[in-house]
Structures are given as C-alpha cells and as structure tokens.
A and B are shown apart, each in its own frame.
Chain A
Amino acid sequence: MDDLQLLFVLVLFAAAFGAVLSGIPVAFALSGSALIVATIASVFGVFDFSYLSAIPSRIFGTAMFNEVLTAVPLFILMGVILERSRVAEDLLMNMARLSRGVPAGLGISVTLVGVLLAASTGIVGATVVAMGLLSLPTMLKQGYSPSLAAGSICAAGTLGQIIPPSIVLVFLGDQLSGAYMEAQREIGNFAPDPVSVGDLFAGALIPGVGLAFLYMVYQFCIGILRPSDCPAMVEEDGEDLRLIIILASLLPPVMLIVAVLGSILAGAATPTEAAGVGALGALLLAGVRLARETEGTTSARAIVLAGLAAAFLLIILRSIADLRLSAQDISAFDTGAIVVALISSAVLLAGVAAALWILRCAGTLSDTMMATMRISTLAFAILIGATIFSLIFRSLGGDEIVLEAMQSIPGGANGALLAVLLLVFVLGFFLDFIEIVFIIMPIVAPVILQSDINPIWFGVLIALNLQTSFLTPPFGFALFYLRGVAPPEVRTTDIYRGVLPYIAIQLLALATVFVFPALATWLPSVLFR
C-alpha cells in the first residue's frame, strides 16, 4: 500500500461526499466523482482505465439479471397500487374507527398501518409524506397535540423499513449475501451457509414487531396519562360504524399483506414470487375498491370478485388434488380438478383484466405505472452509480485500506462493528437507506463478516440503527419530509420534541438486539434450517 493510493482513496471519498452534499443527483454524484478521481489517478499511474471495462458486466449482473432484486419493482408496484386506489387510506380510517374508545387509538392505528404498509415503504421520504398527508390532518382535527401527532407519524413512517417485506431489506439482504460469501472465502471457509433475503426478513421480524409494540405501548401510556394530548375519536354523523362492516373492509388488505409475508417466512415462496402475487392481489383489491366510485364498472367489479374467488379456489384445489400437468396416470378426480383449476385460472385472468380496466376508467392506471417506474428507476439508478463507485474504489486499493483501518480499531470485531454502526448513524443524516446500503455495505460488510459476526444480526443492527438516524434532529430525514407536508401550526420544535421519546425507544431496541443477538438470529434458524 503506497501513500499515493491512500491519498487518492481519501480524495475519492471527499469528492463523492462533496458532490452528494452539493445537491447533485446521488446516482451521478457517486459515479461522476469516482470517474473524475480515477482520471486524475490514471495520470499518476495509480489507476488503469482497463478496470472500467468491468462496468457493463457489473450493471448486468448486480442490477439487471438479478432474480432477487426483481422483487423490488413488484413490491413498489404493490405499495403504489394500495396507495393510489385508496385502499391504504381506508385501512387507516377503518383501524381508527375500530380503535374508538382505546386510549390514543388513532396514534396506535397510524403505527399499525405503518407496519402493514412495509412493502411500499422503501424510501423514507415517500412514506413519511404519504403518512403525513393521510393522517396528520385527521390527528390534529381530533385534537391530538401537534408534537405527539408529528412524532407518531415520523416513527411510523420509518418503522416500515425494518419490517419485512420492505424493499430496503431486499437490497440489504442481496448485498449481505454477496458480502458474506466473499468474506468467508477470504478466511478460507469455502462452503458457508448462504444468507438469503428470506433469512433477513425472518431476522428482522421479531425486532421490527417488537419495536412497533413498544411504540404502541408508549402511545397507550400517553393515552392514559395525558388523555388531553390524544383524545378518543369523535364520531362523525352518517357513518356506518357497525363492526362487521369495518372488519369486512379491513380484512382483505390485511390478509393480502399477511399472505405475502407468510408465504415468504414459511419458505413456500421466494420474496420475488410473493411480490408478484402480492402485486396481482393488490390490483384485484384496487379494482373492487375503485369500482365503487367509478361509473359503469359494476359488471367489471363482478368479474374482479369472481377472479378473487377463483384465486381462493386454486389454493383449495392445490391442497386437495394432484394438479401436476406432467404427471403419469392422472386419476379421474385429478383430471376433473385440473379442468376446474384451468377454468379458475382463466377466470382469474379475466378478473385481472377487469381490474386493469376499472383502474383505467378511474384514471389511476397510468399514474400507478408511472409512479412505480419512477420509484424503481431512482433506486436502481443509485445502484448503478454506486456500482461504478465501488468498482473504482476497489481498483484504487480502497478495500485494503478499509480492512487495515478496521483492524486497527481497538476492541476487535465488536469494536469495528461499533465503529461501523456509528459511521452509518452519522451518514444517515445525509443519505437515505438505499444509498447507504449500496455505498457502505460493499465496503465494510466483507471486512466485518470475516469475523464470527452473524450476517443477519449485522443486517438487523444496521437497519435499526439507520431507522434511528432518520428520526434524530436536527438532520433526520423523516423530520424534513414531515416538515414539508405539515401545516404551519405544527412548529418544527413540535416535530423535534415529538420524536424524542421514539428515539429513546429506538435506542433501547438497538441496545437490546446488540446484547441479545438471538432476537435476530433465532427465527431464521428455526424457520429455514
């Protein structure tokens, strides 16, 4: 390692950081500054341009032809459909109605919806904005104190990140599995147990749900101790408040989300498969929901409902009959079942077509697709930019410099881990989850995971840590975004004061998972081994 290389690695970091902070789009700030530094380095003979020829195969391998990451646009599509068709809004309102009489019922509902909408909550800003627009006016109207309302929304908006199936966990799991393989090869273990996105989902479930539970306990306590801060819901006239009606409208989206998550955790489906079916299910629910307020779609709605019924029939048929088309000697019963299943599939297809038609009549189809494209594109553009950045970083010998630096941190593996957590916490003030996963993970994870640190535990700690960072004033991402959509009567100090208790809860959860790694590692070990 010579000093010139070290110098250029430091310049590379400084340039990338400066470019990102100056407001240049992150994807191009990373790749562009890396290319500029590489060009200068090549003049000094420290960098060879032939390294760059690996760029297309990296783009192809990491971003394009990556079956795991195919789940990301599908989860985004599912989330956007639920949001645009107002299924998400109904979910929140119905939960709030259901929780009438419970202390801080509306606040608790906001947390629950944050948990349920985890699939769509990849990007902090988008979720906090959506939750803010959705629930802040309602909470203020119900007489919630601005700081409690703002704090609850910021916390709920970031909560979804750590609860599967959030898309950042998909990205993080994908990065970790590569880094873990590489790290274990480096120390001579050529057959490590692979780490999958499903493992990380399972690992994040207990800490995530535990965190949500702690949030709700806090809100409940406030509801009892300071009821004036969060009065119970006021009933509006003319609303149908019968329990059965509320439950009936609450059930479908909850079932969809539970089915998606359940099929992944049960090992029945890969995240990608679950995401595809989840998006299809969301589309059908959206069709039913939007048909109510779109004229001339009554018959289409009936077809969508038939499609939903056909989907259930398919599941039932599969469990009672052998539907393998390629099987030898198909019995009469199975032949009948196969015919029914094929007809059901056709009905399901018709239901999907009808749902698409309803969305089109309601004017949301093209919006939904464009929004899915935009969110997916900005995430993957950053992945491509970060890929070019890390390629140049490694070509300059940066990975060895990081390895040496981390080995010189006192306290061994745990010392290095704490240093990484601290670094990620600070970076979380400036960068969103996706950027940090793409830039920092490829650099530090292969080093950290060379020790006996469990990769799932590491991933969950990173996720919890980042989530805390997004809530921390004065820089926390969530706070900025809520400020953007909050009415002027909610002061910035209200937002800061409101998140403080949640930060305390976060730190408690982070410390607990740090001291008891089993909270993250136990569930994957019983589910998938």
Chain B
Amino acid sequence: MDSIIDLIERCNRVLGRAAASCALVMMLAQAFSVIARYVFSYGVISVQEAAIYGHALIFLAGSAFVLQVNEHVRVDVFYARYRSEIRRRVDLIALLVFVLPVAATILWVSYPYVARAWSVLEGSRQAGGIPAVFLLKTAIIIFAVSVGLQAIATATRLFARKSTPAWDTDDVGGT
C-alpha cells in the first residue's frame, strides 16, 4: 500500500517538475515568436502555438503536485483556527467528497471528448499550426487522473495519521 502511494507521489513530482519546465519553454517560444514577427515580419504559427501548449501544460500537469504540497488556495479565516484533529477531518472531507468526485467527473465527461479528438487525430485550426490538438486535449485526462490519485494518496496518509511534510501541520496552505 505504502509503495503505491509513494509511486503516485513520485509520479506527480515528476509531472510537477515537467510543468515547471513548461514555463521556461513557453517563455522562449513566446519571445522567439515576437522577435520573428516584429523584427523579421516572419510569423511562425507552430512556435506561437507552442507557447499556448506550454501555458496549458503548466497547470494541467502541475495541479496534482500543488495538491501534494498543499498549496491550492484556501480561505483560512476559520481553517487557521481549527484544532489539528478538526483540520484533519476537513482535509479528509475536502479530498474525498470534493477533490476526488471533481476529478472523477472531469475524467468521466472528458473521456468521450478526448476520444473524439483522437479518432480524427485532431490538428490545429490554423494552417502551419501544431498538428497535435488531440495530444493537448489528452492533458485534461492526465490532469483528472493525477489529481484524483493524489487525493487518494494524501487521504490515505491523513487517514493513517501519517503526516506528510505539507499536510497536517501548523503550516497552512495558500499564498
């Protein structure tokens, strides 16, 4: 059991790092496309779209990691004053009644949507764009699955009272 949880969290950390590097890729793509367009009047649609791909992948791939380190924004007017046992219960409810069903619903309604994109190998609407919209849409599935698994992993830890560095401490998430 523990090894499965570790595996989930390791995968989500890798996803998080990949998401972080998307920020760099997106900046380079955006700057390249601006220089090409403004200096040389040379538009490269695929590079322009690469910036959009990078943008989308940042938060789709990063969400599970942000959940893992407990940094999704919460209103802590009351939360900050809970005793740690109450806080643990609120966290368990948040993960099992809110995060998990939301992830499952997104997975459920996105599957046909993404399958449709795959069935025609949906490409860009613009000539010269990246012919991989079906892959980009698949990231919604990755988002739902990784967030759902992370919710299960964190809930299991909280349930077994195994505190993680980010959860079940006095350190309240948020910004």
A residues adjacent to B (C-beta < 8 A): 19-29, 31-33, 35-36, 52-53, 55-57, 59-60, 63-67, 69-70, 72-74, 77, 123, 125-126, 129, 269, 272-273, 275-277, 279-280, 283, 314, 317-318, 323-327, 338, 341, 345, 348, 352, 356, 366, 369-370, 372-382, 384-385, 388, 430-432, 435, 475
Binds A, one of B2-10, B53-61, B155-163: B53-61
Q: A32-B101, A69-B55, A380-B59 are in contact. Are A23 and B75 (CB under 8 A)?
A: yes
Task: State whether B56 touches A64 (Cβ < 8 A).
Answer: yes
Find residues 80-99 in chain B having any chain A CB closer than 8 Å to their own CB: 80, 82, 87, 90, 93-94, 97-99
Enumerate chain A residues within 8 angstroms of B40, measured Cβ to Cβ: 323-325, 338, 341
**Supplied contacts A24-B90, A64-B136, 15 more A-B pairs, CB within 8 Å:** A19-B98, A22-B78, A22-B79, A23-B87, A31-B102, A52-B105, A55-B105, A70-B30, A279-B31, A318-B39, A341-B39, A370-B16, A372-B20, A376-B58, A431-B75
CA–CA, A475 and B75, complex, Å: 11
Task: State whether A376 touches B35 (Cβ < 8 A).
Answer: no
Task: State whether B34 touches A273 (Cβ < 8 A).
Answer: yes
Q: A56-B106, A273-B30, A377-B19 are in contact. Are A70 and B39 (CB under 8 A)?
A: no
Task: State whether B94 touches A53 (Cβ < 8 A).
Answer: no
Enumerate chain B residues within 8 angstroms of A126, measured Cβ to Cβ: 175
Query: Which B residue's beta carbon lies closest to that of A32?
Result: B98
Q: Which of B31, B78, B113 contacts A56 (CB 8 A)?
A: B113
B11 interface residue per 8 A CB criterion: no
CB proximity of A265 to chain B, nearest CB, Å = 16
Enumerate chain B residues within 8 angstroms of A277, measured Cβ to Cβ: 30-31, 34
B165 interface residue per 8 A CB criterion: no
Enumerate chain A residues within 8 angstroms of B93, measured Cβ to Cβ: 24
17 CB contacts below 8 A, A to B, read A28-B99, A55-B110, A125-B175, A276-B30, A277-B34, A317-B39, A325-B40, A338-B40, A341-B39, A372-B58, A373-B22, A373-B58, A373-B66, A376-B59, A384-B59, A388-B105, A430-B75
Task: State whether B66 touches A378 (Cβ < 8 A).
Answer: yes
Task: State whether B109 touches A53 (Cβ < 8 A).
Answer: yes
CA–CA, A373 and B71, complex, Å: 11
Enumerate chain A residues within 8 angstroms of B69, measured Cβ to Cβ: 374
CA–CA, A147 and B73, complex, Å: 28
Find residues 133-169 in chain B having any chain A CB closer than 8 Å to their own CB: 136-137, 139-140
Q: A24-B93, A31-B102, A56-B109 are in contact. Are A324 and B41 (CB under 8 A)?
A: yes
Q: Which of A55, A125, A373 has the most CB of B within 10 A?
A: A373
Enumerate chain A residues within 8 angstroms of B23, measured Cβ to Cβ: 73, 77, 369, 372-373, 376
CA–CA, A12 and B82, complex, Å: 25
Enumerate chain A residues within 8 angstroms of B28, measured Cβ to Cβ: 280, 352
CA–CA, A32 and B98, complex, Å: 5
CB proximity of B44 to chain A, nearest CB, Å = 11
Task: State whether A432 touches B73 (Cβ < 8 A).
Answer: yes
Q: Which of A25, A73, A283, A374 contacts B26 (CB 8 A)?
A: A73
Q: Which of B26, B38, B90 contacts A318 (CB 8 A)?
A: B38
Q: A53-B112, A373-B58 are in contact. Are A23 and B79 (CB under 8 A)?
A: yes
CB proximity of A123 to chain B, nearest CB, Å = 5
Q: Which of B63, B98, B105 has the most CB of A within 10 A?
A: B98
Q: What DSSP secondary structure best describes chain A's contact surface?
A: helix
Task: State whether B109 touches A60 (Cβ < 8 A).
Answer: no
Task: State whether A25 touches B38 (Cβ < 8 A).
Answer: no
Enumerate chain A residues within 8 angstroms of B27, measured Cβ to Cβ: 74, 77, 276, 279-280, 283
Q: A35-B101, A52-B105, A372-B20 are in contact. Are A65 and B39 (CB under 8 A)?
A: no
Enumerate chain B residues within 8 angstroms of A435, measured Cβ to Cβ: 73
CA–CA, A19 and B97, complex, Å: 11
CB proximity of A175 to chain B, nearest CB, Å = 17
Q: 4 nearest interchain CB pairs?
A: A23-B79, A276-B30, A32-B98, A25-B72
B1 interface residue per 8 A CB criterion: no
Query: Which B residue's beta carbon lies closest to that of A76?
Result: B23
CA–CA, A432 and B140, complex, Å: 26
CA–CA, A23 and B172, complex, Å: 10
Task: State whether B41 touches A378 (Cβ < 8 A).
Answer: no
Contact with A along B104-118 (1 / 0, CB 8 A): 011001101110000
Task: State whether A60 touches B137 (Cβ < 8 A).
Answer: yes
Q: Which of A67, A318, A352, A377 contacts B66 (CB 8 A)?
A: A377
Enumerate chain A residues within 8 angstroms of B97, measured Cβ to Cβ: 32, 36
Task: State whether A369 touches B34 (Cβ < 8 A).
Answer: no
CA–CA, A52 and B41, complex, Å: 43
Query: Which B residue's beta carbon lies closest to that of A345?
Result: B35
Enumerate chain B residues within 8 angstroms of A64, measured Cβ to Cβ: 52, 55-56, 60, 136, 139-140
Enumerate chain A residues within 8 angstroms of B33, measured Cβ to Cβ: 273, 276
CB proximity of A144 to chain B, nearest CB, Å = 26
CA–CA, A280 and B21, complex, Å: 15
Enumerate chain B residues within 8 angstroms of A63, measured Cβ to Cβ: 56, 59
Q: Which of B26, B63, B73, B79 contacts A74 (CB 8 A)?
A: B26
CA–CA, A191 and B80, complex, Å: 49
CB proximity of B172 to chain A, nearest CB, Å = 9
CA–CA, A374 and B16, complex, Å: 9
CB proximity of A275 to chain B, nearest CB, Å = 7
CB proximity of A76 to chain B, nearest CB, Å = 8
